[in-house]
Chains A and B, each alone.
Chain A
Amino acid sequence: QQPVQSPQAVILREGEDAVINCSSSKALYSVHWYRQKHGEAPVFLMILLKGGEQKGHEKISASFNEKKQQSSLYLTASQLSYSGTYFCGTPTPPDMRFGAGTRLTVKP
């Protein structure tokens, strides 16, 4: 089952912060986050592991809520290069399911 992402779209000014949420009906054991630029394939950003450990990106962080049914991605001090569509991915062995995506636009 695909995770549910919110919001659908965010528009920021450079330097502002954003939060993107990813929810599941079941407890999440890990969540992947990917960013896709227009016309390109998705690229891995980071993984949030069930113990709260994060791997992958220095300037982007994520967390679980108490029940581990929601993960939030935190983008702080956004840069123009952060623009793109963000997808959360939840491993559902043997494959991965993706949320509908959040389109982030960072303006100067």
Chain B
Amino acid sequence: SAVISQKPSRDICQRGTSLTIQCQVDSQVTMMFWYRQQPGQSLTLIATANQGSEATYESGFVIDKFPISRPNLTFSTLTVSNMSPEDSSIYLCSVLGAAAWGTEAFFGQGTRLTVV
């Protein structure tokens, strides 16, 4: 299993500013995943963060807007840059961890971002 500590849990930000979200995992993992969940919607993968290399971004997400750091095997940050109200969403980090039945996705508590 894996326990993920994510912070901040929520924030209200002014448009044009940036927010950095942090995730700390209690065990070493090769990959960490960042998802966005807009109100009432599903989880959309933003990018996969590997330690020691650049993150891999999904279609529609770019590094300039969502820079990611992965300095070691237990930590990652996602920055939401030059924010606009359309960025208001819940951001979640996730890892795939070993479980008795194979693998399981574990999530941080989420960061609820409101851009005003």
**Neighbouring B residues of A95 by C-beta, 8 Å:** 31, 33, 45, 48, 96
Known contacts: A41-B110, A55-B100. The answer to whether A32 contacts B42 by CB under 8 A is no
**In the assembly, what is the distance between CA of A78 and CA of B43, in Å?**
25
B110 touches A56 (CB 8 A): no
How many residues of B are counted as interface, with CB atoms below 8 angstroms from the partner's CB atoms? 23
Would you call A80 an interface residue if the criterion is a C-beta within 8 Å of the partner chain's C-beta atoms? no
Interface flags, A47-88, vs B, CB<8A=1, else 0: 101000001100000000000000000000000000000010
Partner of A100, one of B42, B92, B102, B108: B42
A41 x B102 contact (CB < 8 A): no
Interface range for A? 20 to 34
User: Shortest Cβ distance from B80 into chain A, in angstroms?
Assistant: 18
Taking CB atoms, residues of chain B closer than 8 Å to A47 are: 101-102, 104
Measured CA separation A41–B107 after assembly (Å): 6
Are the CB atoms of A41 and B42 closer together than 8 Å?
no
Q: How far is the CB of A27 from chain B (nearest CB, A)?
A: 17
Q: Does B53 contact A (CB under 8 A)?
A: no
Residues of A near B94 (CB, < 8 A) are 96
* Chain A contact surface mostly: strand
* B101 partner, pick from A2, A55, A87, A97, beta carbons under 8 A: A55
A95 to B99, CA, bound (A): 16
Alpha-carbon distance A100/B42, docked complex (angstroms)? 4
Given contacts A41-B92, A41-B109, A41-B110, contact A97 B104 (CB under 8 A): no
Inter-subunit contact B107/A42 (CB<8 Å): yes
Q: Once the chains are docked, how many angstroms separate the CA of A96 from the CA of B43? A: 10
The distance in angstroms between the C-alpha atoms of A8 and B43, with both chains bound, is 15
| Chain B proximity mask over A22-49: 1 for CB below 8 Å, otherwise 0 | 0000000010101000001111100101
Using A40-B110, A55-B100 as known contacts, list a sample of 14 further A-B pairs with CB atoms less than 8 Å apart, ordered by residue number in A. Answer: A34-B105, A41-B107, A47-B101, A47-B102, A56-B101, A89-B105, A91-B96, A94-B31, A95-B45, A96-B96, A96-B105, A98-B42, A99-B42, A100-B42
Which 3 A/B pairs are nearest by Cβ-Cβ distance?
A55-B101, A41-B107, A100-B42
